Structure 1
Amino acid sequence: MNNKAFICYANQCTETECLEKMIFGFGTPIQFMGETEQNETWGFLYNYESDELIGPFRAISKMNLKIDLTAFQGRYPYQVKVSLLGDLLRKKAALSYIQSIGIQVYRTKSGRILPSHQITSKNAETLDHWLNNDTIVKSQFSSDISDAYDSIIEECEYESSKKVLLEVRKAVSNKKRIKHEEADKLLIQLRDGVIKKEQPVYDDSKGLLRKSIKNILLDKKISSHDQFDEMCKIRQIEYDGQQAKYFPIIFEIIMKLPSSVRDRQRKT
């Protein structure tokens, strides 16, 4: 085992709960869950070069002393006596583990898989880092334009990189038609390796901006970006430069949807 690995502990939990943490990860890649209890605790070792999880195991301190969890600092642990209670776990085996222990999962609009009991953006980052989405569940997106818009905006806020946005726009413009699943999959793929901002690019928590954009798309048969801009002016929708850079992408992706989808939305 090389030093590009980290060890995680979960005290006061069962073996099943430890398996759950092995599959879904912690809030951050390296997070220690308190001190050991009665000189032992459940844990696992994750080697992110070979993409392997070893465990779960009980880590037992020497001389009946508590293990200093903060001493590991994410590197290969110091001499620690471990008793392996599980076999090697790889990504491709994650689904069978989930099914066998009955963990409930679901996918957000932006395509991220989360355990039903712990919904946090940090948790999602850990999942996206090493867990293959296609291994767990296949993407299922509604044909509602507002869902497509929400999903795109979530990814754009999550990824504020101009390079990513330009690549998405280029890829979309080269396609005759693009479905919601394809748009989200593309955004998720392009997101990998890009540094993320802690804060969203802009605050649309009340959904006012996305509601206005949806109304424009449904009320009029927009056929060009110029018409889209003109409708924004007519409806007196103001937006700053940060918001404006998303509009061409949103417009192009939605306009590439099958006409039957857009027409159906206009009637509702």
Structure 2
Amino acid sequence: MPQHDPHQFYCDECDAPVKGHDRYCHKCGASLGEDAEQISIFNNSHLQTAFFFYSIYLFVCLAVKYTNWFNTYDTLFWVEVLLAIVTLLFARSNWKTIRPLLRTNTIRWYLVLGFMLLAVAFSSVINITINQINTSIFRTDINMYYAYRLYQYPVVIMLYSVALVPALFEELAFRGVLYNQLGHILDERLVVIITGFVFAAIHLNFFSLIWLIPFGIFIGNLRRKYQTLWYGMAFHFAFNLTACLFDLYRQGELW
């Protein structure tokens, strides 16, 4: 008979670990009875933390999108700093569960390269498709480089802001802090889906949900399968870097 963790709940039928509030086993589907604890934002610290953390991100993103305070990178830079600090503070308060996700001794570099190449392919398809839609249907030419070309080192700033910062801090935020908080109360596969959706929603672009939702769910599955953030960060970085290179190519800035 396997030894059970006294703080963990188990299904009586298949012995799979379950959450205390689950009504049905996610593995065999057996009923777990009617005595499941009721989880709400008013009685669960993990859900409260997740809600508060996401609310900060959402408020800041709404302010950036719907006010005129952040029209230049001079001010947007401080938004990036603010969100990075908030993410690090929440990660520090949950360091015992975040730290294992940042270890490098289990990283397989051929997987890093493979996921980055996959991200390049995915991003290329998205960028070519979106550019065709914008030019042929909406008669517009949306280019991220416009916001950075006034600065002394526009390419460096663009790559830092669009590729590096989101890859590091969005992954730490959504697949680290938020994922871990929700993982205390939900099945991990459901957490992957939820964090994928809220990650996509934070970008505040309805059209981009088409690719951001599968993007977020895929990276969430990398986090679940390999128990590390590094593969997701590599994928995220390569995806955004490819988007930057497409924009720079269209502006004639690559050579």
- Relative contact order higher in (CA < 8 Å, ≥ 6 apart): 2
Give the alignment's TM-score, normalised by structure 1: 0.26
Greater C-alpha radius of gyration: 1
Instruction: Report the structure, 1 or 2, having the larger helix content.
Output: 2
Give the alignment's TM-score, normalised by structure 2: 0.27
Instruction: Report the structure, 1 or 2, having the larger strand content.
Output: 1
